[in-house]
Structure 1
Amino acid sequence: MMTTVGIIGFIVVLLLSVMLHEWGHFATARRFGMKATEFFVGFGPRLWSIRRGETEYGVKAIPAGGYVKIVGMTDLEEIDPADEPRAFYRKPARQRAVVLAAGSFMHFVLAFVLFVTIPMVFGHSKATLTVDKVPDCVWTDTTGKQTSLPTTCGPDTVPAPAWQAGLRPGDTIVSLDGKRLKTWQEFTAAVKAAGARQVTIVVRRDGRELTLRPTLIVQKRADGTGKTVQAAVLGVTSEIVVERAGPVEALGEAVDDFQTMFLGTFKALGQIPASIPALFRQTFGDEPRDPNGLVGAVGIAVVSGQVLDEGSDPLPIRIGSFLGLMAGINIFIGIFNLLPLLPLDGGHLAVLVFEESRRRLYRLLGRPDPGRVDLMKLMPAAYLFLVLLIGLSVLLVAADIVNPPKLSL
């Protein structure tokens, strides 16, 4: 059920992002006196529209984006002489730059608002030192499995060291091998690094401290990057609590999260060319899907459903994780759209910067204004980029269907 909700939620947020993107262009164009004749969500045949003033608002059949039509955006359209004073290209360069960048700016605003909202409203999960579950058995090998603890014992399980040593739900971990612990993360890191040997664990139960001596086992597991590592296993889970932040703390977290995601997006974009051969192998060969590799819209929808449906975190935490994923997607779209490639907004910005730089240089040299760039000469490069983008999108759809990504929990 929650998987379906997650997929629908992803589609709704994506369409909302498209509307905000186009509204950014529309609002700034209107603010500077430009004429906008159409504001549509989707492409293709018109399903519904309504005219308000000089603008037609509506929805089209293919929900693959949206657009706002501003008179005079390119030289490739005919303009009514009466609209010439309000044409895009007749406005100052600074105003045109603001209009072009406003779409991506709205993606960044939405992402930042989500990053502020998540810790305040939905909170973060915090693993305490109190034991939640102690199963009878643990897997001998967790690679390829979506959980670290089995629900029943079977041929591919072994007795859990924690259960055998007497750990029980409700116990609070005090120390490991004489070292007092402050966080669950500190405890699990010490366990993983301990190796296959007996350790001494002190727990607090019913107001008194008990000393237990489990013998750890070593288990093969995926490390989240597609590699298999060896780690010692105890066989317990932590009790999870939800902590919510105040406005000031949430704002600080949002700044950190936004900065991390913003910089990470540039790194991800730089890795796209090198990731394509691996994506071919993962789609048409036997290579497992890289959890940190390229993912298309179908794969993101699947992962969105997994975020809400899977895992042991409380529902508010899973909703927060879903919204965090949506924030990251908006940052990626915003940055991608600013790449200096036509027909992206960043391509038009690059042309604008070139035109203004050339105009100022000619003025300094005492030469006449060279005029605007002939976009027709740039169309072959724009078409090549579109072909490559469409090809990559088709490959990603195929990969997401044939070898869908899996959420690593």
Structure 2
Amino acid sequence: MKLLFISRFIPYIGGREVILQSILHKLSKNRQVYLLTPDKGYFTPDFTIFNFKYLQEIPMLINKIRPDIINIHAFYFTKPILLSSHKLNIPIILTLHGLFLNYYGKKYRNFFEFIKKYLENPNFFISVVCEHHKKQLKDFGISLEKIYVIKNGIDPKRFIYVKNFSEGILRKNLYLQPSNRIILTVARLTPLKGLGYLIKAFSLLKSKNLVLLISTPTGRYNKEEMNYRDFLLKQAERLGCKNKIIIQFHDYESVPLLYKSCDLFVLSSVIEGLPLSILEAMACNLLAVASDVGGISEIIKNGKNGFLIQPENYKNTARIIEKSLSLGGARKRHIIQNARRTIIKNFSEERMIGQYEELFLNIKNKLL
């Protein structure tokens, strides 16, 4: 079976790109796999990459490859693909890693009106990363028969057996004292991640030895994110905690070292899908606190394997952070162990890859 994936890709990195990289490498072991992307700089013998500069090039490349299945992972490439593949009778799956129907404006909702109409085509399907998104699409009027749920997954071994890990090395590199406790968040520099609320919450914490480390992925040095970084630092200065806020870029390979070295993970997003950072932190035995948005409550069961916070509520966030940092040893170990079991049982990379492969086969056979 010949599989074509269309998306942004490395070095433009976020959770979507990490997931897609995993899918491409795993499926290429027994399938013909192709990637169409506007991003250059990634080389691999495992699958074939075609770069495009303009959307108008996509139909020509699809016609050249003639895939059995097209899987789109960036919604803004969808329209020209639908229009071209309709003529070629190729089944298409649009994978949504996030869904912002109640957040973005009219233009975004108009796109989904177009999608809803096009789903009358028997060759077009949608996959989402959480049950929450499935419900949103259903409420928008999209038939459940057209929606598949494949939850994100990671390789737990990568986050428990961390190479080159040395206790205290992060504090040394950040010029911190051994007594400093580090609160970590791993997120893109965007208001969607609620970083402003997290900094407000941090400013309310009573302990004097806390540091907030905001780790953001390399490869995304755009003006918008740099401006937001400056905004966050100015906010921290106004709140009197700038000297305890560290914003750093880290490549994806070094992120497990951060999880291993910090004392608490917090994700304060305003809107989410099924974030990889929570799965990774929990797999790394790092206590996780996260906003109750999107599919996060499908991962974290409050008080059992982590803690949920109210989105956009910095006072509640501060209170839950204080509670998490003050947990007794036995209770903390119990929650951390439950968290790791959750990841191994429900959010493994192996399960995710198997479900994507099953979806492709089912759709191909269904349309024969």
Report the TM-score, using the length of structure 2 for normalisation. 0.24
Higher RCO (C-alpha under 8 Å, 6+ residues apart): 1
Report the TM-score, using the length of structure 1 for normalisation. 0.23
